[in-house]
Structure 1
Amino acid sequence: MQLDPKYRQASLYVGDLHADVTEDLLFRHFNAVGPVLSIRICRDALSRRSLGYAYVNFLQPADAQRALDTLNFQRLLGRTTRLMWAQRDARLRRSGVGNVFIKNLDRSIDSRALHARFSAFGAILSSKVMLDERGGSRGYAFVHFQEQRAAELAIESMHGALLGARTLFVGRFQSRGERARLQLQNRAEQPFTNVYVKNLGPAVDDARLWQLFAGYGRPLSAKVMSDDQGRSRGFGFVSFDSPEAARRAVEGLHGRSLDGQALFVGRAQSKAERQAELQQRFEQQRLERDEQPRPAPVARLYVRNLDDSVDDERLRGAFAAFGSLSRVKVMRQDGRSKGFGLVCFDAPEDAARALAAMNGRMLGSKALSIAPAQGP
């Protein structure tokens, strides 16, 4: 099934690689399908150990498509590799659009079998069965469809269906932030009897706290927290005999002024709940930052020591895996390469990655020399 043109590049992501797989092995593996421009195994910056994934750049998108069709889920050094179109838009990956979560998966179902079963509903960008440290299935998986409608069809058709020996749960993927937000919402809607209050003045003791809250129901306890010297820490807890009384207290006292300070009164949370709320707020702030309009900075790299055979297209292919490119140009005089060129990225961080990975890398018969380009 053919993909939308926005996904049809000449660059593939190769995942689930064995730590001993080398660029040379990947080159021989993929070059049998079509001419490969460059290969980059992503490595730890300090140890230089493989992170388990790589990018392969082909000269032609058709060759990349052929590799995706024929080499996906093949084994290299005993491990099944997983291919997908390289997708640099982090917002697309995090949005959850077209992404399906599957659990209660039979342990015999691998990524290849999962891909084969769910491809009936539409073009798949990625399918992955999550594995444990021994390489066995953890019993859950993710399938990312190109279109949201395909994901909806998969959920409608496969939720509750039998695959292998188990009945599947198939639902919409939820990000960590979304799951945390729903958990907090569910907790907030549950009955509670313990109330947390802060912004208490130094004159507020246990007795006064009890008296303040007794107007909303019968407190079982009221405690102002203190330090080692017995001084108030400015917050406390009140436990009621009924959820109704606790909720009335929150509604009636939150924001009320006491000794010149506005009280915060809310449902008391466990440590785990507080951590989940902080995580949810962090995720929400990150998503809001991602959605804000940003200028489109251009980061330029000056590439020297180019082989005479390297033209604009081949230079573009060598750098395309690192991010979106706005301009690629091999400088020429009288039709012949001058041995240097310019590569412009849309994002400075992509240019930084390209500089670190490609400086000194062979392209044709020469090792590239790369530096940040100065000037406008």
Structure 2
Amino acid sequence: MICLIKWDKWVVRVCRDMGGLRRSLGYGYVNYSNPNDAARAIDVLNFTAVNGKPIRIMYSHRDPSIRKSGTANIFIKNLDKSIDHKALHDTFSTFGNILSCKIATDGTGQSKGYGFVQFEAEEAAQTAIDKLNGMLINDKQVYVGHFLRKQERDSSLSRTKFNNVYVKNLSESTTDDDLKKTFGEYGTITSAVVMRDADGKSKCFGFINFESMDDAANAVDALNGKKIDDKEWYVGKAQKKSERELELKSRFEQTAKEAVDKFQGVNLYVKNLDDTIDDEKLKELFAEYGTITSCKVMRDPSGISRGSGFVAFSSSEEASRALSEMNGKMIVSKPLYVALAQRKEERRARLQAQFQQMRPVAMAPSMMAPRMPMYPPGAPGMGQQLFYGQAPPAMIPPQGGFGYQQQLVPGMRPGGGPMPNFFVPVVQQGQQGQRLGGRRGTGPVQQNQQPVPMMQQQVRSS
């Protein structure tokens, strides 16, 4: 270690390699004589940019086992790419003292969508998992769970090993002996059978059971996709019916999610359409704002328009411009309503989260972290938070389906007017005594607090 600098109150060391170039290893140590000074340095300087890179500051532990044990360490994935180290730290610091917090990034510094937080206490880590797993952060449902070291992950995978192998797409002439001969090259087989119908005709699939799980895995790796008798075999782990159904469901959900993500921020929902508007007319109305990849007016089984539809653009910028220009525009004497299309579960979660925050004064939460605004969009007197390509909250009412209707709340105008004053939003530190609600028509109270990711309870659709 070199670059030793001494003052009356602190000592600074920058760690460098031992080669001829003595390049910085990217980390160092600062020793304070006063613990309060060290705590203030962490609070003020953590995640401050130095030479264009945010620095992370934490207490130094001489015992490396504390860091390497994985105790109180949690893993977070499916994070929005806009969430950085500081935003993640601010989100999780409400549950306890954090020893380390970071977002995984690629070579260009862009988030990989996952990160790690290590707490001082295991209880804090468990509370964070219980409270935040499945929550919406910046409109994305995140997974929060215990961090598993590579050995533990490998051990978990090993528990999925198998002896029984399934093979399909066999030729009709393939026999049990053929299976034994082909699969026997990879290990000792206890049984091999081609499944047949009542007449003895091959069903073109079968099962092979190995003595060794490693032999079964090797056979799958070697024979899956191989052509035998002009037939390309599928070879894999033999599964129970429940396992197959679960896997198919998972694949379907993943495919559906990928399809939705493809249109995230570019797909617009349009309602209050005149009955004379068809697909072509709808496309003409939105064509000037960019390249339209799909356009459809929703119809009932008899072909009558439902008065709503969808328009997908090639980019979120085009969709945002179309939204701002077309929302409220009069088309055939009817004002259009235009908003970003959302998945059913996201709409339910947002609606549920919004109404959960609408509590009478007597039921208002008494303990809430000041750095985590959890009030719903449109709460009285609060600054609005916008997400990429999303219309202002007043333009996107609570939704109950792609063809949703405006939700009616006592005291609230259908157009998205201010909430009545019997709802109490979260009060930021330093704002005690201020009236946050205000009368209708008053502007929003400005907040000096830098916003951190908005969190909303995810409601799983049954």
More helix by share: 1
Q: In which range does the TM-score fall when normalised by the shorter chain?
A: 0.3 to 0.5
TM-score by length of structure 2 reads 0.38
More strand by share: 1
Higher relative contact order (CA 8 A, sep 6+): 1
